[in-house]
């Protein structure tokens, strides 16, 4: 069973949901009406943080689950938590200033790369042992 990975998956979805709420609040705060996605730089940063999170989910989630299946649920969950923390730092930092997104991005990108590489290595290792 992959209980820890499942929990981290739900946390990642919660982070994305939270970023959606921040976009909604930013729309009201900065007067950006739907369907516009530009016009106020403060809104645009919050919106881009949400979109970038969405762009990373299809990279992160399969890598997380494949790592859990082929390597370890515990390690996948720990790396997944690192990704979640990095995403939160990215979202909150980017909302303040574009320059403040870098640390969070680096943390989540590193976690995502380790998950992907581990999953790839685990799959190749199993194939070679056949």
pLDDT in tens, 12-53: 999 999 999 999 999 999 999 999 999 999 999 999 999 999
pTM above 0.85, yes or no: yes
The pLDDT value given to residue 23: 98
| pLDDT for position 86 | 98
The token pair at 109 is: 């990108």
Is 87 among the residues known to form the active site?
no
Q: Of 27, 28, 45, 126, which one is the catalytic site residue?
A: 28
Using pLDDT thresholds of 50, 70 and 90, give the confidence band for residue 57.
Answer: very high
SS3 assignment, position 97? coil
Domain range 3-125, its CATH number among 1.20.120.550, 1.10.260.40, 3.40.50.620, 2.20.25.90: 1.20.120.550
Predicted confidence at residue 93, as pLDDT, reads 98
Average pLDDT over residues 92-104: 98
Q: How high is the pLDDT of residue 97?
A: 98
Catalytic residue among 48, 87, 101, 126: 101
28 is catalytic: yes
On average, the pLDDT of the chain sits at 98
**What DSSP letter does each residue of 54-70 carry, written as one string?**
HHHHHHHHHHHHHHHHH
């Amino acid at each position: 069973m992959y209980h820890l990975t499942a929990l981290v998956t739900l946390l990642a979805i919660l982070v994305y949901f939270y970023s959606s709420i921040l976009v909604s609040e930013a729309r009201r705060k900065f007067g950006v009406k739907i369907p516009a996605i530009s016009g106020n730089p403060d809104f645009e940063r919050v919106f881009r943080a949400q979109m970038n999170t969405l762009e990373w989910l299809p990279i992160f989630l399969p890598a997380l689950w494949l790592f859990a299946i082929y390597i370890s649920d515990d390690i996948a969950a720990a790396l997944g938590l690192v990704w979640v923390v990095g995403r939160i730092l990215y979202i909150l930092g980017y909302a303040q200033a574009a320059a403040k997104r870098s640390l969070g991005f680096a943390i989540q990108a590193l976690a995502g790369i380790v998950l992907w590489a581990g999953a790839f290595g685990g799959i190749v290792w199993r194939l070679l042992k056949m």
